[in-house]
């Protein structure tokens, strides 16, 4: 039942009447709504929420009536969102997650010595530096629980401010939006252009940065304030002409590079294993813009001690060794 799909997708296009109604939204209904959409079913959502299915359905009917906007479609295959429902869901999910996070932080164990360590890091560091550091650190702290999450710099900083991470590893040059945070540079990092061994560029007599413009590129996601890899080349007066494939994981990015003519900009340590087994190699091209600093970020007023400090020390040691090896 399409109802003509006469829905807008931009919040700016919602009527003033609707915007006024949103001031009276019950946060519990938003949590219910986010769960219904996550599960795609009233029955499954009711089970997770611990409420009766009829009561949940009535609650969602009242939310739609209050907003005067259709936010979901009910059918034999389950529940789906309308375009305006998508817009509401993106906010409802964030509100739900923030409430759950606040509850966890308020009732978390105050015994920091035995609390889990929550580390956030850039995707490019998960191939070698962070795993190798963890392996060496683990021998000294066999019982300490460690959670590791990778993301874009923007998401890492938001997660740190929201206390989803205890500390994060990011680019020192990209912290202008990180109010309330402190940083300490751990090591220098150097980017390289990687490609499959049989790539056409290896047959060229002389490689220059301009040689790269006609080929497709694979790239990791960038956040709103991140410097995209295209900008690194543009700063040297080079505009890339090939298409760009944004990969949601570093594993996907490296696989795409190894089975096609896609090029990728990564630290050498991130492709060390692929170089060893012959799937990727490094093009002999260097630019000053390829050098960067990796820093640890933590909240103002917090301290990094005990197992956390030992882990940071191992990351700094291994990262520094990789940089010296690349030099």
Instruction: Flag whether pLDDT at 17 surpasses 60.
Output: no
Instruction: Flag whether pLDDT at 16 surpasses 90.
Output: no
Give the DSSP per-residue string, 115-171: SPEEEEEEGGGTTTHHHHHHHHHHTT-TT--EEEEEE-HHHHHHHHHTTS-SEEEEE
State the burial class of residue 85 (Cβ atoms within 10 Å of its Cβ: 0-12, 13-18, 19+): buried
pTM value is 0.66
Measure CA of the first residue to CA of the last residue in the chain; give whole Å. Answer: 62
Q: Which helix (H) or strand (E) holds 218?
A: strand 217-219
How many of the other CB atoms lie within 10 Å of CB of 313? 15
Query: What was the pLDDT predicted at 9?
Result: 43
Query: What was the pLDDT predicted at 237?
Result: 72
Q: How confident is the model at residue 311 (pLDDT cuts 50, 70, 90)?
A: very high
Instruction: Flag whether pLDDT at 113 surpasses 80.
Output: no
Q: How confident is the model at residue 7 (pLDDT cuts 50, 70, 90)?
A: very low
Give the residue, 188 or 303, on which the prediction is more confident. 188
Work out the average pLDDT over 33-45. Answer: 90
Query: What are the tens digits of pLDDT across the range 121-173?
Result: 999 999 999 999 999 999 999 999 999 999 988 889 888 888 889 999 998 86
Q: Which helix (H) or strand (E) holds 217?
A: strand 217-219
Query: What are the tens digits of pLDDT across the range 265-276?
Result: 899 999 999 999
Query: What are the tens digits of pLDDT across the range 80-91?
Result: 889 888 888 888
- The mean pLDDT value of the chain amounts to 83
The answer to whether the CB of 211 falls within 8 A of the CB of 201 is yes
Query: What was the pLDDT predicted at 302?
Result: 82
Give the residue, 112 or 152, on which the prediction is more confident. 152
Query: What was the pLDDT predicted at 195?
Result: 96
Report helix, strand or coil for 301. coil
Cβ within 8 Å of residue 202, ≥6 positions away = 195, 281, 283
Shortest CA distance to 123 belongs to which of 294, 256, 243, 318? 294
Q: How confident is the model at residue 261 (pLDDT cuts 50, 70, 90)?
A: very high
What are the structure tokens assigned to 80, written together?
């789906």
């Amino acid at each position: 039942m399409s109802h003509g799909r006469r829905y807008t997708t931009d919040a700016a296009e919602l009527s003033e009447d609707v915007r006024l109604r949103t001031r009276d939204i019950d946060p519990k209904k938003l949590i219910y709504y986010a769960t219904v959409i996550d599960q795609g079913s009233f029955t499954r959502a009711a089970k997770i929420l611990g409420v009766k299915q009829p009561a949940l359905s009535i609650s969602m009917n009242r939310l739609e009536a209050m907003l005067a906007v259709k936010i979901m479609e009910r059918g034999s295959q389950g529940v789906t969102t309308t375009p305006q429902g998508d817009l509401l869901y993106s906010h409802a999910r964030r509100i739900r997650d923030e409430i759950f996070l606040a509850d966890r932080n308020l009732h978390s164990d105050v015994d920091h010595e035995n609390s889990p360590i929550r580390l956030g890091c850039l995707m490019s560091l998960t191939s070698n530096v962070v795993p190798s550091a963890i392996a060496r650190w683990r021998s000294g702290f066999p019982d300490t629980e460690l959670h590791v999450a990778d993301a874009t710099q923007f998401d890492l900083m938001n997660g740190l401010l929201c206390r989803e991470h205890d500390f994060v590893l990011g680019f020192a040059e990209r912290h202008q939006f990180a109010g309330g945070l402190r940083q300490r540079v751990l090591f220098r990092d150097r980017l390289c252009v990687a490609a499959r061994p049989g790539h056409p560029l290896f047959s060229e007599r002389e490689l220059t940065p301009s040689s790269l413009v006609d080929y497709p590129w694979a790239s990791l996601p960038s956040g709103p304030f991140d410097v995209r890899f295209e900008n690194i080349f543009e700063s040297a007066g080079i505009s890339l002409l090939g298409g760009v494939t944004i990969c949601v994981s570093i594993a996907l990015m490296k696989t795409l590079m190894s089975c096609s003519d896609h090029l990728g900009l990564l630290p050498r340590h991130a492709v060390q294993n692929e170089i060893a087994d012959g799937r990727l190699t490094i093009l002999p091209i260097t630019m000053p813009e390829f050098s960067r600093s990796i820093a640890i970020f933590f909240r103002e007023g917090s301290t990094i001690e005990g197992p956390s400090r030992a882990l940071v020390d191992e990351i700094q040691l291994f990262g520094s060794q990789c940089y010296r090896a690349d030099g």
